[in-house]
Amino acid sequence: MKYEDVRNFKNILKEKIEIRVYGKVLIEENLEPSIAICIYSPNNINFCYVINWFDFDYRYDCFGLDRCLDYYSKKILNEYEKFILKRFIKETTCD
């Protein structure tokens, strides 16, 4: 895995997610050996998805950068949708 590919991965992944969500997307990198892609929405519905570098390295070696980007962007957006739906159901359900 090349350093340039890792940098490109983080930047492109951030861009792919930013165009699909309402809010600010940040990459938290203080989690060695992982990073977190965090979505901070204006209505305080915040979400983070952690990517372990060992998992990324395996996928990168097997599938290459483009397929890794597709996999993680779809995975993160899918998990974000589930998170939003759970929160919405929780807030609108009567006990």
pLDDT in tens, 50-65: 998 888 888 888 888 8
Q: In angstroms, rounded to a whole number, what is the distance separating the alpha carbons of residues 85 and 90?
A: 8
Alpha carbon separation from 19 to 46, 71, 73 (Å, rounded): 17, 16, 11
76 close to 37: Cβ distance less than 8 angstroms: yes
Q: In angstroms, rounded to a whole number, what is the distance separating the alpha carbons of residues 24 and 76?
A: 14
Residue 95, pLDDT > 60, answer: no
38 Rama class: left (phi>0) / alpha (psi -120 to 50) / beta: beta
* pTM, to two decimals: 0.84
Question: Position 88: which residue type?
Answer: F
